[in-house]
């Protein structure tokens, strides 16, 4: 039977899940029954159980290594029990209420050794955007150790689907835990030597100060999102060579941060990105990050959009070397050296994660996906984060806050909505002029 050990990058996300910081992956999936009837509780459990039991990562649990001298192993949970992963007893009438419920879930610290992932089902939402029939909302809260945004994207496309899945899944096993501990202990000195050799190169790529002001970071969460017409955005940007949907969303966020926070606003954004082509990847988490200046010195929207596009290109150009240098260090760290700590000096920084989930093909029985809204986890150094996620013709820009200094999250969402309209109007103006000529 095969064995699969966590990498240092995967493992770090387990002890980092502590106190006031949950590092879990968080996504809201909105399904529309249309003219059909949504799955009832029994049908939904059977549907999810039949599919999750044939998706390898959703069967896994985590072993421990005595003394913490080696990294844990993934093993199959036997027998697999879908009831441990699904909560389906909540009815909420409003879309706003869904986000209030979600914020409570986002704040919970879940022990990944007890449960790696859970689905929270919400029924009865009457005003969900884009829904014609009955809405079914599914909230995913999963351990980040199990995968990054791209890994989870593949998982949910297998889970929320009717396509065939393999009937046979090879079961993972783990070596004798005491032998793993001895092996880890014996390898620790060599790992330290290789890590120290890799350290100088990583210092060339230290993260810049975001420029955000001091804030309070708490264990409470606040969340919101806006939904935009992706077709309209793609059509409007045709006359803007090199401009991407992500850069447009970043410009909306830049304008909104500046308007909402003023001088306290961060001046740059940490952008999550997949592994560069040809880079060595191990384990479940392959994403890295680069930083983008938010061009707040540009008051004209067109100039700010152009500057953010240029800044993205510069960040992407330097990203492959930075990714390889940082991973060279991370992959050599011994288990006993992985001890994440919470910063005692919270500042207003922001992270943006973006994934295009492609066509709207995900299904829940006969219900079809309308939108997906994902939220990068918050921390003292980035307590106000954004997601830029699309599926089908819907682009969702989300925000998750871990600081009460952000004020009413719905006010910020309204600011996002207003600035989205301003940016789209700017894009359309050039298209209109080009058509007129």
Contacts of 178 (CB under 8 A, 6+ apart): 66
C-alpha to C-alpha distance for 238 and 232, rounded to whole angstroms:
10
Q: What are phi and psi of 304, to 5 degrees?
A: -65, -45
Asked, for residue 143, whether it belongs to a domain, the answer is yes
Q: Which two tokens stand for residue 54?
A: 């044939």
176, 296: one domain: no
**pLDDT given at position 348:** 96
Same domain, 138 and 233: no
User: Cα torsion at 8, 11, 17, 21 (round to 10°)?
Assistant: 30
**Do both 273 and 310 map to the same domain?**
yes
Q: According to the model, what pLDDT value does residue 431 have?
A: 67
202 part of a folded domain = no
CATH number, domain with residue 217 = 3.30.559.30
Q: Which helix (H) or strand (E) holds 293?
A: strand 288-293
How wide is the angle at C-alpha 3 spanned by C-alphas 86 and 165, nearest 5°?
A: 45
The answer as to whether 191 is a domain residue is no
The pLDDT value given to residue 433: 64
> Both 147 and 8 in a single domain?
yes
Instruction: Check whether residue 221 and residue 293 sit in a common domain.
Output: yes
Claim to verify: residue 177 and residue 321 sit in the same structural domain = no
Length of the chain: 437
Q: Residue 234 is part of which domain span?
A: 210-355+377-436
Q: Determine phi and psi for 290, rounding to 5 degrees.
A: -135, 170
Residue 199 lies in a domain: no
Q: Alpha carbon of 36 to those of 52, 237, 273, 391: distances in Å?
A: 24, 36, 38, 21
Quote the pLDDT of residue 437.
Answer: 54
Q: What is the CATH number of the domain that holds 60?
A: 3.30.559.10
**Domain tally for the chain?**
2
> In the numeric block, which tokens belong to residue 293?
């200046």
pLDDT in tens, 362-386: 999 999 999 999 999 999 999 999 9
Q: For residue range 239-261, what is the model confidence (pLDDT) as tens digits?
A: 999 999 999 999 999 999 999 99
Q: Which residues of the chain have pLDDT under 70?
A: 1, 431-437
Number of neighbouring beta carbons within 10 Å of residue 216? 11
Q: Are 321 and 267 in contact (CB under 8 A)?
A: no
* 276 and 132 both lie in a single domain: no
- Please tell me the predicted confidence (pLDDT) of residue 270: 97
Structure tokens at 352: 């943006």
**What b/e string do you get for 219-237 counting C-beta neighbours within 10 Å, with b at 16 or more?**
eebbbbbbbbebeebeebb
Do 215 and 170 lie in a common domain?
no
Is residue 35 in a domain? yes
Nearest to 350 by CA among 267, 411, 237: 267
Residue 130 token pair: 């884009």
- Answer yes or no: do 286 and 169 share one domain: no
H-type helices in 237-363, by residue range? 245-261, 301-330
Nearest-angstrom CA–CA distance, 362 and 27: 14
Would you say 285 and 327 are in contact if contact means Cβ atoms under 8 Å apart?
no
Same domain for 398 and 345: yes
- Residue 205 within any structural domain of the chain: no
Report in angstroms the alpha-carbon separations of 199 from 158, 196, 204, 328: 39, 5, 9, 9
9-52 pLDDT, tens digit per residue, is 999 999 999 888 999 999 999 999 999 999 999 999 999 999 99
Q: What is the pLDDT of residue 434?
A: 57
Q: Are residues 122 and 252 in the same domain?
A: no
Residues paired with 371 in a beta bridge: 30
Distance between CA 156 and CA 360 in Å, rounded? 12
Q: Is residue 368 part of a domain?
A: no
Structural domain contains residue 384:
yes
């Amino acid at each position: 039977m095969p064995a699969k050990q966590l990498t240092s990058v995967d493992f770090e996300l387990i002890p980092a899940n502590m106190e006031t910081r949950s590092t879990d992956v968080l996504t809201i999936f909105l399904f529309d029954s249309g003219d059909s009837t949504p799955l009832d509780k029994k049908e939904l459990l059977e549907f999810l159980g039949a599919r999750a039991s044939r998706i390898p990562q959703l069967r896994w649990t985590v072993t421990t290594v005595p003394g913490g001298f080696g990294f844990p192993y993934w093993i199959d949970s036997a027998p697999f029990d879908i009831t441990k992963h699904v909560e389906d007893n909540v009815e909420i009438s409003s879309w706003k209420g869904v986000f209030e419920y979600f914020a409570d879930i986002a704040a919970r610290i879940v022990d990944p050794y007890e449960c790696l992932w859970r689905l929270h089902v919400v029924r009865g939402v009457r005003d969900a955007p884009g829904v014609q029939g009955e809405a079914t909302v599914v909230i995913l809260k999963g351990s980040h150790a199990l995968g990054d945004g791209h890994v989870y994207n593949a998982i949910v496309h297998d889970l929320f689907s009717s396509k065939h899945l393999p009937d046979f899944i090879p079961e993972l096993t783990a070596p004798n835990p005491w032998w793993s501990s001895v092996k880890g202990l014996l390898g620790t000195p060599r790992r330290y030597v290789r890590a120290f050799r890799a350290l100088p190169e990583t210092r060339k790529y230290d993260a810049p100060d975001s420029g955000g002001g001091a804030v309070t970071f708490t264990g409470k969460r606040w969340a919101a999102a806006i939904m935009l017409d992706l077709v309209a955005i793609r059509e409007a940007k045709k006359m803007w060579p090199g401009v991407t949907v992500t850069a447009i969303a970043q410009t909306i966020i830049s304008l909104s941060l500046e308007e909402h926070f003023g001088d306290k606003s961060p001046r740059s954004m940490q952008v999550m990105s997949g592994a560069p082509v040809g880079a060595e990847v191990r384990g479940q988490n392959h994403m890295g990050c680069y930083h983008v200046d938010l061009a707040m010195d540009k008051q004209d929207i067109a100039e700010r959009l152009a500057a953010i596009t240029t800044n993205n290109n510069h960040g992407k150009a330097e990203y492959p070397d930075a990714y390889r240098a940082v991973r060279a260090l991370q992959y050599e760290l011994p288990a006993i050296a992985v001890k994440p700590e919470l910063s005692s000096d919270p500042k207003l920084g922001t992270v943006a994660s973006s994934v295009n989930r492609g066509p709207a093909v995900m299904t829940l029985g006969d219900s079809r996906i309308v939108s997906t809204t994902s939220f990068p986890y918050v921390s003292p150094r980035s307590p106000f984060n954004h997601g830029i996620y699309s599926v089908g013709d819907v682009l969702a820009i989300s925000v998750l806050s871990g600081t009460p200094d952000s004020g009413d999250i719905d006010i910020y969402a309204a600011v996002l909505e207003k600035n989205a309209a301003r940016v789209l109007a700017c894009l359309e103006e050039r298209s209109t002029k080009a058509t007129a000529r």
